[in-house]
Structure 1
Amino acid sequence: MEYKKINGRDFYNMVVNASNRLAEESDFVNALNVFPVPDGDTGTNMSMTFKAAVKEIENINSESIGEVSKKLAKGALMGARGNSGVILSQILRGLSRGLEGKDEVNCSELAEAFEEGSKSAYKAVMRPTEGTILSVIRATAECATSLKSNEVAHFMDEITKAAKIMLDKTPEMLPALKKAKVVDSGGMGLYIILSGMTQALKEGIKAEVKDIKIGEGGGDVTGAGASVDAENIKFGYCTEFIILGDASHAKEFQDSIEPLGDSMIVVGYDDVIKVHIHTNDPGAVLAKAVKVGELSKIKIDNMREEHRELIANEKMREDAKKAQKPEKYGFITVAMGNGISNIFKDLGVNHVIEGGQTMNPSTQDILDCIEKINAENIFVFPNNKNIIMAAEQAAEIAEKNVIVIKTTSIPQGITCLSMFNKDGEVEENIEELKELLETVKTGSVTYAVRDTEMDGIEIKEGNMLGLVEGKIKEVGEDKLEVGEKVLENLVDEDSELITIFYGEDVTEEEANSFVEKIEEKFEDCDVQLYKGEQPLYYLLMSVE
């Protein structure tokens, strides 16, 4: 079918098909993470961002491409997760700007919109890096504006090819990609989107939004999501348990329970399979599970009942808040692990958003928390470089005075909140916190999810990885030995305090033994130990 012009309905089919394609490929995009650590989440972030955008237009009944694109951009803006999601939302925002006020567009007008999308993406990044999604959208726009095509499907086909050519060049533009033998993950996500849009036109697809499972996003620990009616919760029982059985059966078991619910996670390792699912029939799930092996640590929560209690408590809090005089300061932070969340709450944080690596909260998640705080000045601590842009976007949208302190790690966030002067003035606190960030050195220990080589270091799947300021510096077999080497990189003659947060996969005995060794080795430093309970990272450490 030939298209000299496309309207809002055509555009709807294009982006919905693209969203479905991206959701299907999100795990593949995640796997392109440069670092071989278990926090590759670009595919999840981009897919959840695009899914939020498509949800905004799901029930739209308009033939105007300008109107459809405007709503799409709004949905992406509010649902943006992680840096890749924020950049994607800005691309869609630029596209919308180029299509504004138009009912239908030809190739020339569409080219101008893609050029706006590229410009908007570059403006969103303070220090644009080539070899990323930015290069791919720029190449797409340059091809679009140079084409003389009069047929939209052919136009889309050509700009998608241009995107692929640039995507394939990204390893030559970024040494880190070349060493990891991957292309840029954000660029791949954009290429998949363009491919999905092109496919819809070429094949005349009448797209429908598919409920394809992708990664779970961050939520407010203290009550995000209360706006949903309990009766509208599709699957009412959060069911978690462990199967003590052969982990090779994990995929087969996952396939067998998939029709019974959603939000499903099935992870197998050696002789253990960990299961999480939202379902209306926990008994049916457990009946299938017991055929695989012995069951342990079964936990079933009635989410509808919890939700009704949440609504009631939330209303009581909101009513009380309205009657209160605003506080001078309010605080929002992002964290993973009950232990770390509790530390933040003890430091006076109003809302701890569950999130971090693999689970970046969206702009909307952060904005929701901002709206709940009755304070004149609200400080946000992202604690992850991949959350800073979403936080800044939320601050820009909010009608309150919101200040984002660009913390990139949990220890930085805790140090900032520990030293915050609640009696001081806003500008004084901002300057002091910025200076404080320079004094906190951070390290961590996690594991490799694949074989690779980085900076001349050979890494095998399952190796323990020691990261210093986010870069892999140590590789070994023992997590505590690697942790010790990480601290050797961080401690110098000026160091006074070592803080250690141990994760959910480290026992208290292991943690205490590690601290004894560290105290003996670095006898001039005070050592503090906390039970962080964080996933993925065995140790999070800071030196001040």
Structure 2
Amino acid sequence: MKYHKINGHDFYNMVVHASNKLLEESEYVNSLNVFPVPDGDTGTNMSATFKAAVKEIEGLNSKSIGETSKKLAKGALMGARGNSGVILSQILRGISKGLADKDEVDSVGFAIALKEGSNSAYKAVMRPTEGTILSVVRAAADGAIDSDEKDIVDLMKLVVDEAKKMLDKTPELLPALKKANVVDSGGMGLYIIFNAMYEALRDDIKAEIKDVKPASAKAAGASGTEDIDIKFGYCTEFIIMGNAEKANQFRDEITPLGDSQIVVGYEDVIKVHIHTNDPGLVLSKAVKLGELSKIKIDNMREEHREVLLTKEEYKKANVEQDDIFTEEIVLDVEKKKYAFVSVAMGDGISNIFKDLGVDHVIEGGQTMNPSTQDILDAVSKLNAEHIFVLPNNKNIIMSANQAAEISDKDIRVIPTTTIPQGITCLTMFNPEAEVEENVENLKEAIEMVKTGSITYAVRDTEVDGIKIEEGNILGLIEGKIKKVGTSYCDVAEEVLSEMIDEDSELITIFYGADVSEKEAEDFTKKIEDKYEDLDVQCYRGAQPLYYFLISVE
């Protein structure tokens, strides 16, 4: 096929096919993450972001490429997860800017839009790093701008080639990639997207959205309270604490039980998502592989009916109003000066945050980054003059900042990168102080906390001269691997010995879901005996993936 111009229908097929392809390759993209700790979720975050984007245009059927790209960018903006997802959303936002108010574009117009996407991505990052997705999008966009191709199929082929050339160069730009013998994971995700967009034009593919819940009933042509055709009614998500090598086998086993399944394994953790009519059967098969955690089952048909019902219909039906009318309900609550939103994983840590005054805890963290929309949803439930958001993870800060940028509420993102930093901020918060003073004080409080974490290696690698084998216990200080061993208690003790200095006064230990209460008590007693002059506290965090989170103040 030859395309001298493309319109909204063509662009729809391009991006939907790209979303489907990225979903298929998301585990491969995850595997390219260099750092050996179990948080390699670039592919998952980019795919979730792109799925949110194409969900926004499902049923649109517009010939206008400007309208289609605008809605796509909105979906990506709200659904952005993790740093890679936020950068992808900014690329789509820039492309939308380049296509604004256009029904169709030629090769020159599309090249300009790609360049806008590149520019937007670079502006979104405070300190751009070359050898990443940013380099790949810039090379692809520059190639398109310099091209004299008239056929957009040929232009996209050139874009793909330029993206691949830069992707192959990323190990030369980032030594960590070269040492691990991989290319940049975010760059690979973008290359997959561009290549799939090219395929859609070249092969005249009429794409259908995969693994995306139906758009609103009105867009789908439904009316009243009738159910649209939701074939599998229960969105089922959970984690199996079991051998990740069985992930593919389990995926094959549950495939006949539903659709939209995602099964991702990391050593002894398997994350599962499926739409099914029999959650119990899925869970009964899963429990054979290991202990289940974070089980969440949503009735999608019920959710659909609730969306259709108006507020008046709810009153007539005498149904209790809940989150559907949250914004109006919030206005009935007395407005307070300050409120807090925090991100956390593990019911123990979540309860600690709530005990310290956090108004809403978003479940998330490593491997489960909340989206911009998740953060906005949490903020929408609060009626306060100033709302502080504690991301508690470096990969969530960009999504939080994006939420603050587009919200009409006063959101202050305190850039906490660890759970202990978030907890310290809450203890240092002064409800009598003015907002700017609190912002300054909380940012200073972050610097007072040393954070250590104990987890395991998901791959063989070498980091800063330290040789690591899959399954090793890793001790990190401020996110950098410092200790490697075979016992998480021994590694934790070694990490503490490096964190403690003459100014240290307090040690706080949060033990994870894989550590028994007795193990935690024995470890705490050992630390108390070793550091008699320091206060030692131990709490059940129940966090997954990390045996211990440790802070020294």
TM-score by length of 1: 0.89
Task: Kindly indicate whether residue 429 of structure 2 is the aligned counterpart of residue 432 of structure 1.
Answer: no
Q: Which residue identity lines up with residue 18 of structure 2 in the other structure?
A: A
Give the 5 Å matches for 1:318-397: 321-397=330-406
Distance 2:487 2:501 in 1: 24
1:111–1:321 Cα change, 3 Å: closer
SS of match in other structure, 2:474: strand
SS of match in other structure, 1:480: helix
Identity of aligned residues (%): 65
Maintained 8 Å contact 1:239/1:279: no
Q: Which residue identity lines up with residue 138 of structure 1 in the other structure?
A: R
SS of match in other structure, 2:483: strand
Task: Kindly indicate whether residue 6 of structure 2 is the aligned counterpart of residue 6 of structure 1.
Answer: yes
Q: 2:249 aligns with which of 249, 252, 262?
A: 252
Cα deviation digits, residues 85-135 of structure 1 (max 9, x gap): 111111111111111111111111111111111111010001111111111
Q: Which residue identity lines up with residue 535 of structure 2 in the other structure?
A: D
Match of 2:67 in 1: 67
Q: Which residue identity lines up with residue 338 of structure 2 in the other structure?
A: Y
Cα deviation digits, residues 115-160 of structure 1 (max 9, x gap): 1111110100011111111111111111111111111111100111
1:69–1:473 Cα change, 3 Å: same
Maintained 8 Å contact 1:35/1:180: no
Give the 5 Å matches for 1:389-408: 389-408=398-417
Match of 2:145 in 1: 145
Match of 2:107 in 1: 107
Q: Which residue identity lines up with residue 90 of structure 2 in the other structure?
A: Q
> 1:334 Cα deviation (Å)?
0.3
> 1:516 Cα deviation (Å)?
1.3
Match of 1:226 in 2: none
Distance 1:196 1:174 in 2: 26
Distance 1:237 1:44 in 2: 18
Distance 1:113 1:168 in 2: 24
1:141–1:311 Cα change, 3 Å: farther
Match of 1:187 in 2: 187
Match of 1:41 in 2: 41
Maintained 8 Å contact 1:23/1:212: no
Task: Kindly indicate whether residue 551 of structure 2 is the aligned counterpart of residue 542 of structure 1.
Answer: yes
1:131–1:287 Cα change, 3 Å: closer
Cα deviation digits, residues 192-230 of structure 1 (max 9, x gap): 0000000101111111111289xxxxxxxxxxxxxxx99
1:266–1:128 Cα change, 3 Å: closer
Distance 1:327 1:359 in 2: 30
Match of 2:276 in 1: 279
Distance 1:521 1:382 in 2: 33
Distance 1:78 1:316 in 2: 19
> 1:277 Cα deviation (Å)?
5.7
Q: Structure 2: which 5+ residue stretches go unaligned? A: 214-224, 307-317
Task: Kindly indicate whether residue 514 of structure 2 is the aligned counterpart of residue 505 of structure 1.
Answer: yes
Task: Kindly indicate whether residue 470 of structure 2 is the aligned counterpart of residue 461 of structure 1.
Answer: yes
1:71–1:258 Cα change, 3 Å: same
Residues 323-332 or 376-385, more deviating: 323-332
Match of 2:209 in 1: 209
> 1:325 Cα deviation (Å)?
2.1
Q: Which residue identity lines up with residue 328 of structure 1 in the other structure?
A: K
Q: Which residue identity lines up with residue 543 of structure 1 in the other structure?
A: V
> 1:254 Cα deviation (Å)?
3.2
Maintained 8 Å contact 1:77/1:363: yes
1:491–1:423 Cα change, 3 Å: same
Q: 1:417 aligns with which of 419, 423, 426?
A: 426
> 1:59 Cα deviation (Å)?
1.0
Match of 1:235 in 2: 233
Maintained 8 Å contact 2:386/2:410: yes
Match of 1:130 in 2: 130
Cα deviation digits, residues 295-327 of structure 1 (max 9, x gap): 987999874499799964547976763323201
Maintained 8 Å contact 1:24/1:212: no
Cα deviation digits, residues 421-459 of structure 1 (max 9, x gap): 111111111111111111111110110011111111111
SS of match in other structure, 1:25: helix
Q: Which residue identity lines up with residue 483 of structure 1 in the other structure?
A: A
Q: Which residue identity lines up with residue 123 of structure 2 in the other structure?
A: K
Distance 1:36 1:256 in 2: 29
Q: Which residue identity lines up with residue 79 of structure 1 in the other structure?
A: G
TM-score by length of 2: 0.88
Distance 2:280 2:476 in 1: 43
Maintained 8 Å contact 2:179/2:462: yes
Match of 1:490 in 2: 499
Match of 1:224 in 2: none
Match of 2:199 in 1: 199
Maintained 8 Å contact 1:241/1:295: no
> 1:71 Cα deviation (Å)?
0.9
Distance 2:399 2:293 in 1: 36
> 1:180 Cα deviation (Å)?
1.9
Cα deviation digits, residues 37-73 of structure 1 (max 9, x gap): 1110110111111111111111112111111111111
1:398–1:92 Cα change, 3 Å: same
Maintained 8 Å contact 2:387/2:412: yes
RMSD: 3.0
Match of 1:85 in 2: 85
Maintained 8 Å contact 1:242/1:298: yes
Distance 1:532 1:170 in 2: 38
Aligned residues: 525
SS of match in other structure, 2:484: strand
Maintained 8 Å contact 1:266/1:276: no
Residues 521-530 or 156-165, more deviating: 521-530
Maintained 8 Å contact 2:456/2:471: yes
Distance 2:372 2:537 in 1: 34
SS of match in other structure, 2:96: helix
Match of 2:52 in 1: 52
> 1:400 Cα deviation (Å)?
1.1
Maintained 8 Å contact 1:334/1:381: yes
Match of 1:219 in 2: none
Q: 1:449 aligns with which of 450, 454, 458?
A: 458
Give the 5 Å matches for 1:517-536: 517-536=526-545
Cα deviation digits, residues 4-46 of structure 1 (max 9, x gap): 1111111111111100000000011111111011110110111
1:295–1:99 Cα change, 3 Å: closer
Distance 2:184 2:289 in 1: 42
Match of 1:158 in 2: 158
Give the 5 Å matches for 1:308-323: 312-314=321-323, 321-323=330-332
Cα deviation digits, residues 347-397 of structure 1 (max 9, x gap): 111110000111111111101111110101100000011111110110111
> 1:286 Cα deviation (Å)?
6.9
Distance 1:230 1:543 in 2: 57
Distance 1:532 1:375 in 2: 28
> 1:240 Cα deviation (Å)?
6.9
Distance 2:405 2:158 in 1: 36
